[in-house]
Chain A
Amino acid sequence: MPDTTTGVVVIGGGSTGAGVLRDLSMRGIDAVLVEKGDLASGTTGRSHGLLHSGGRYCVNDLAAAIECVEEGRILRRIAKTTVEDTGGYFVSVSEEDLAWEPRFVEGCAKAGITCERIPVEEARRREPALSRHVRTVFWIPEDGHLDPFYLVVGNVESARRRGAQVRTYTEVTGFLKNDNRVSGVVTRDIFTGEETTIGCQAVINATGAWAGFVARLLDVEVKVVPVKGVMVVLSHRVAHATINRCHKPGDGDIIVPALSVAILGTTSAKVPHPEVLPIEWDEVHHMIEEGALMADGVSTARAMRAYAGVRPLYDLGAEAEGREMSRNFAVIDHEARDGIAGFASIVGGKVTTYRLMAERVTDLVARRLGVRTPCTTAEVALNDREDEMDQLRHRPAQLGVPKPHGDELGLQALICECELVRPQDVAPWFKDPAVRTLEDIRRRTRSGMGPCQSAICSYRLAGRLVTERGLDGPTATRAMADFLETRWRGVRHVFWGSQLRQAQVTTGVHLELFNLDRQLMHDLPPSLAGEGRGGGFETAEVASQR
């Protein structure tokens, strides 16, 4: 007998898994999502946050572009608070770019993407950040920024309100089987090592770049090619709108203004494993150089950190590699393909099309379970209960301005001054058993994402681990240190200019005022940061709540 039972187990807490969980719950199917890290800690949270109009794919990957057009419009309706409707520019800076333009215009027309050529002078008036190298400009009103963390959390909370469950830091180590039918999963808690079984009628593998590892537990093959992309975070928005290079997608050709920062992306390199994502100096350097061709602010803005994510490109068997591969997705019905009933995988795709991916795989599984309730995720807004979504985080985007300095926020106590995170924004998460590190708080609130990279808020959050979560001092202190270390790993790659001054403030507070370096030599509980998980603060009390 399994420890618990449910209808469907969803493996993977990225945008796809979260979308599947919500879709299942809206069709009235019981579901549990298991994720070996935190929500949005894999590909989704490490994306560049571009809400694709489809312009980037319309020449080489028309099917993906068309999906982006439709899904982008749906997201603007159902996930208003995760979208910043910035619009975007596609700019040409070289002869090659100019030669690409006719194909781009044709692609936009075929995909149904609104695309307007505007004179460079006019474009500079609207967007003074455009560099002197810019020769021609297209305005693509449907590009924007999609907050990947908020998107996942919004989907998961919507599903939880409908009875779905979430278990983070829970890894699937095996399957329960009845002949050739999957009847459950065996899971292991990353922090406690505790094994649990969950019985179910079907399992959906929504693990993206990790899909092959999960499938292998059932001796079936799913070929996903992990392709690394490196991003650089700039300390301010740099531009009003997203800026894309009008050429065959390449390195350093996207700038996405995202809340208080801008994200510069990205590179493309095959990696042997989705968790082997070294950030090479050449990549960082090259991206900043390329980005500076499009916008003036790129080389003068303070680069705050670099991070790497992994694209889960699905190998359709073609010869293509990396960016040449389709960004399209596929539903794999393992019953039809491999003779294993009750198991389906959803692979490929991208964050912008997560909802459609979820719909397709849920259609398949629901049909197998005999559930005929249609999908309604394209109609019902994520925040169908305004009050609870409001609790998630106060969203500057809702006010129609990037960052409302002064007024309301200026008079409130803040946990994170950089990202304007208030105490009431973080408070509910300390009660959520799925939240098990300070990085998890960051992903849900943006606390620690700003210029000081958690130098200040880490202390306040550690304090709340004691007062609101009931942890002891050493455990909370270790969580604080791990949070700082995780942030530091990204800071190191862009360590020049005023970054050094910022680091002196961080070490001045934590090493000189707090003597944290010596404290860490004493008997603090061990860190999990070495495993790339940013430290957990699981305790018996928290475990008992689960």
Chain B
Amino acid sequence: MKADIAVVGSGLAALVATRTLHQAGRNAVLIWPGLSSLYFTYATIDVLGYSDLTTTRPVEQPEAGVAQLIADHPDHPYALAGLEGLRSGTTLLIEWLRAAGFAWQGDLGRNLLLPTAIGTPKPSCLVPDSMAAGDLRRDDPIVFCGFHGYEDFVPELAASNLSRSWGRGEHSVRAVRITLPSFEPGNLFTSIDLARSFEDTTFRREVASRIRREIGVDGVRVGIPAVLGLTHDTDVYSSFAAEVGHPVFEIPTLPPSVLGLRLFDRLRKHIQESGVEMIWAAPAHEAEVSDGQCRRIFLKSAGREQPIEARAYVLALEDTVDGALRAGVHSMVDPFFHEALAHHEMPTERTDESLFKPQPYASIGYRVTRRLQPSDDAGRPLAGNVFVAGGAIAGYDPVGTKSRGGLAIATGYRAAQEAMAA
């Protein structure tokens, strides 16, 4: 199979890169290794939540925060992508979300502060409309609403934590629970089951009326688990909020994250519908390189290896999640060039003693040139027409600073630009 530019990956970076190429009128093929764990843990798009790993003060203005980060760390992937990459990528994504039927809000000028399912405030930059009313910069009281028999969102836990940290007074946060219509106690229902049920008008109306009755006062906003529709979130959310009669906001739950499913499923489908060829569930590996250029990459598909021949390639993989890195017992190797990216005498070296500290393994990835080409130890490109985006770039870990989404957007956009110029 031949293409102008091949993009490999199943996360936000791959989608942004593909959309960038498509918007520019280029013939792109998207090679999607399969469901990544992003589906299960994604909700908002975080650009920069904290400026470093020790501060507890959230970044208020993500764009200014990233500019400062670039000034302080000229080798950071944000610096390689450039502030312009972040701005253009974000504009492209917001417009795309609108075109795909999403209602999202946010701009790089400010972070929202949203309550999580454990009741901690978390800074996020771009968020679905359905989450925005949770913004803790507003003062109105919050009622967390859970459902009896649903274990993946515990309103009492969220309320207890938030009432201690938010500082709007003891009575400004409380928890309620309602019984969902037609659910028997002891029955299994997952977030996905609930999201499907919420697409039903009668069900939704009944839940709304039960919540309204349970709350019984005016002037509050209602936080509920993010289960308001699996695919048609915009309609589901707005009609539900109207029926509840209070501002409503969704809170991301334990996996599977319905918000992540909505986002990735819809964007993937939308890009396919707009005519981009997509190869589904095919892990790509092995780059054939000659004269400093990648000639072909190979897909593992049923029973045989399929070569993909492109003029340029964007490797937009998310760490180990979708196969960017292979972790053997002692070494971590990339699947395309078979470069040993790290060597460890003992596997414990890959981790910190605490789960809550930065993990060395998360920073392992491709060393890249200033043009995002994967490079060898000496900084020479492994292939001049390959560009890396997303979590597979070495040297940073977006977990602690809450910057995964922004980095994916900025590097995805920039890698696509480079691929077009190559």
List chain A positions with a Cβ less than 8 A from chain B. 281, 285, 410-415, 423-424, 456, 459-460, 462-464, 466-467, 472-474, 476-477, 480-481, 484-485, 488-489, 491-497, 499-501, 503-523
Interface window among B203-211, B280-288, B343-351: B343-351
Q: How many angstroms between the C-alpha atoms of A429 and B353 in the bound complex?
A: 29
For A491, the closest partner residue in chain B by CB is B351
Q: How many angstroms between the C-alpha atoms of A519 and B162 in the bound complex?
A: 11
Q: How many angstroms between the C-alpha atoms of A516 and B151 in the bound complex?
A: 19
Q: Say whether B348 contacts A492, CB under 8 Å.
A: yes
A462-B118 in contact given A467-B154, A516-B356 (Cβ < 8 Å): yes
Q: How many angstroms between the C-alpha atoms of A460 and B117 in the bound complex?
A: 11
Is B63's CB within 8 Å of the partner chain A? no
Is B354's CB within 8 Å of the partner chain A? yes
A492-B347, A495-B361 known, 14 other contacts, Cβ within 8 Å? A412-B187, A413-B187, A459-B254, A467-B156, A473-B118, A473-B163, A488-B355, A495-B347, A496-B329, A504-B319, A508-B42, A510-B355, A517-B400, A521-B54
A466 / chain B contacts, CB cutoff of 8 Å: 154, 156-157, 160
Q: Say whether A476 contacts B160, CB under 8 Å.
A: yes
Q: How many angstroms between the C-alpha atoms of A520 and B120 in the bound complex?
A: 10
Q: How many angstroms between the C-alpha atoms of A15 and B267 in the bound complex?
A: 56
Q: How many angstroms between the C-alpha atoms of A109 and B384 in the bound complex?
A: 72
Q: How many angstroms between the C-alpha atoms of A519 and B116 in the bound complex?
A: 11
Q: Say whether B187 contacts A513, CB under 8 Å.
A: no
For B56, the closest partner residue in chain A by CB is A521
A501 / chain B contacts, CB cutoff of 8 Å: 37, 320-321
Q: Say whether B117 contacts A513, CB under 8 Å.
A: yes
**What 0/1 pattern do residues 31 to 48 of B give for CB contact below 8 A with A?**
000000110111100100
B54 / chain A contacts, CB cutoff of 8 Å: 521
CB distance from A510 to the nearest CB of B (A): 8
- Which of B46, B160, B164, B361 interacts with A500 by CB under 8 Å? B361
For B391, the closest partner residue in chain A by CB is A504
The size class of the interface chain B forms with chain A is 35 or more
For A508, the closest partner residue in chain B by CB is B41
Q: How many angstroms between the C-alpha atoms of A506 and B362 in the bound complex?
A: 13
From 343 to 389 in chain B, residues with beta carbon under 8 angstroms from any chain A beta carbon are: 345-348, 350-351, 353-357, 359, 361-362
- Which of A492, A497, A513, A517 interacts with B356 by CB under 8 Å? A517
Is B399's CB within 8 Å of the partner chain A? yes
A515-B354 in contact given A411-B187, A412-B188, A473-B161 (Cβ < 8 Å): no
List chain B positions with a Cβ less than 8 A from chain A. 37-38, 40-43, 46, 49-50, 54, 56, 116-122, 149, 151-152, 154, 156-165, 186-189, 252, 254-255, 257, 319-321, 325, 327-329, 345-348, 350-351, 353-357, 359, 361-362, 399-400, 402, 404
CB distance from B72 to the nearest CB of A (A): 20
Q: Say whether A507 contacts B152, CB under 8 Å.
A: no
- Which of A285, A477, A492 interacts with B157 by CB under 8 Å? A477
Q: Say whether A473 contacts B186, CB under 8 Å.
A: no
Q: Say whether B161 contacts A459, CB under 8 Å.
A: no
Q: Say whether B118 contacts A519, CB under 8 Å.
A: yes
Q: Say whether B255 contacts A509, CB under 8 Å.
A: yes
A515 / chain B contacts, CB cutoff of 8 Å: 49, 116, 120-122, 402
CB distance from B102 to the nearest CB of A (A): 19
- Which of B159, B252, B321, B359 interacts with A473 by CB under 8 Å? B159
Q: Chain B's interface: helix, strand, loop or mixed, by majority?
A: loop
Q: How many angstroms between the C-alpha atoms of A510 and B253 in the bound complex?
A: 11
Q: Say whether B151 contacts A473, CB under 8 Å.
A: no
Q: Say whether A473 contacts B157, CB under 8 Å.
A: yes
B162 / chain A contacts, CB cutoff of 8 Å: 473
B164 / chain A contacts, CB cutoff of 8 Å: 472-474, 523
For A472, the closest partner residue in chain B by CB is B160
A493-B347 in contact given A507-B355, A513-B257, A514-B120 (Cβ < 8 Å): yes
Q: How many angstroms between the C-alpha atoms of A463 and B146 in the bound complex?
A: 11
Q: How many angstroms between the C-alpha atoms of A521 and B350 in the bound complex?
A: 23
Among B165, B187, B359, chain A packs the most CB atoms within 10 A around the CB of: B359
Report 10 cross-chain contacts, Cβ distance below 8 Å, ordered by A residue. Answer: A281-B345, A281-B346, A459-B117, A492-B348, A495-B361, A497-B328, A504-B319, A513-B252, A514-B122, A519-B165
CB distance from B151 to the nearest CB of A (A): 4
Q: How many angstroms between the C-alpha atoms of A50 and B397 in the bound complex?
A: 42
Q: Say whether A513 contacts B121, CB under 8 Å.
A: no
A463-B151 in contact given A413-B189, A481-B356, A505-B41 (Cβ < 8 Å): yes
Q: How many angstroms between the C-alpha atoms of A496 and B356 in the bound complex?
A: 19
Q: How many angstroms between the C-alpha atoms of A460 and B146 in the bound complex?
A: 13
Among B154, B252, B321, chain A packs the most CB atoms within 10 A around the CB of: B154
For A487, the closest partner residue in chain B by CB is B355
For B114, the closest partner residue in chain A by CB is A515
A281-B347 in contact given A412-B187, A497-B327 (Cβ < 8 Å): yes
A492 / chain B contacts, CB cutoff of 8 Å: 347-348, 351, 353
Q: Say whether B188 contacts A414, CB under 8 Å.
A: yes
A504-B347 in contact given A485-B354, A516-B120 (Cβ < 8 Å): no
Q: Say whether A518 contacts B186, CB under 8 Å.
A: no
Q: Say whether A456 contacts B254, CB under 8 Å.
A: yes
For A499, the closest partner residue in chain B by CB is B327
CB distance from B393 to the nearest CB of A (A): 16
Q: How many angstroms between the C-alpha atoms of A523 and B56 in the bound complex?
A: 11
Q: How many angstroms between the C-alpha atoms of A485 and B327 in the bound complex?
A: 22
A517 / chain B contacts, CB cutoff of 8 Å: 356-357, 399-400
B355 / chain A contacts, CB cutoff of 8 Å: 484-485, 488, 506-507, 510
Q: Say whether A489 contacts B154, CB under 8 Å.
A: no
Q: Say whether A495 contacts B119, CB under 8 Å.
A: no
A484 / chain B contacts, CB cutoff of 8 Å: 355
B159 / chain A contacts, CB cutoff of 8 Å: 473
A463-B120 in contact given A474-B164, A513-B43 (Cβ < 8 Å): no
CB distance from A183 to the nearest CB of B (A): 44
CB distance from B349 to the nearest CB of A (A): 9
For B160, the closest partner residue in chain A by CB is A473
A513-B347 in contact given A505-B40, A507-B359 (Cβ < 8 Å): no
Q: How many angstroms between the C-alpha atoms of A512 and B50 in the bound complex?
A: 12
Q: How many angstroms between the C-alpha atoms of A515 and B162 in the bound complex?
A: 13
Q: Say whether B157 contacts A514, CB under 8 Å.
A: no
Q: How many angstroms between the C-alpha atoms of A489 and B354 in the bound complex?
A: 8
Q: How many angstroms between the C-alpha atoms of A411 and B190 in the bound complex?
A: 11
Q: How many angstroms between the C-alpha atoms of A522 and B348 in the bound complex?
A: 28
A496 / chain B contacts, CB cutoff of 8 Å: 327-329, 347
For B326, the closest partner residue in chain A by CB is A497
Q: Say whether B149 contacts A413, CB under 8 Å.
A: yes
Q: Say whether A505 contacts B353, CB under 8 Å.
A: no
Q: How many angstroms between the C-alpha atoms of A133 and B149 in the bound complex?
A: 51
A508-B347 in contact given A466-B156, A473-B160, A476-B157 (Cβ < 8 Å): no
For A453, the closest partner residue in chain B by CB is B355
Q: Say whether A460 contacts B152, CB under 8 Å.
A: yes
A511-B400 in contact given A281-B347, A414-B188 (Cβ < 8 Å): yes
For A467, the closest partner residue in chain B by CB is B156
Q: How many angstroms between the C-alpha atoms of A491 and B118 in the bound complex?
A: 24
Q: How many angstroms between the C-alpha atoms of A463 and B118 in the bound complex?
A: 9
B252 / chain A contacts, CB cutoff of 8 Å: 513
CB distance from B81 to the nearest CB of A (A): 20
Among B157, B257, B328, chain A packs the most CB atoms within 10 A around the CB of: B157
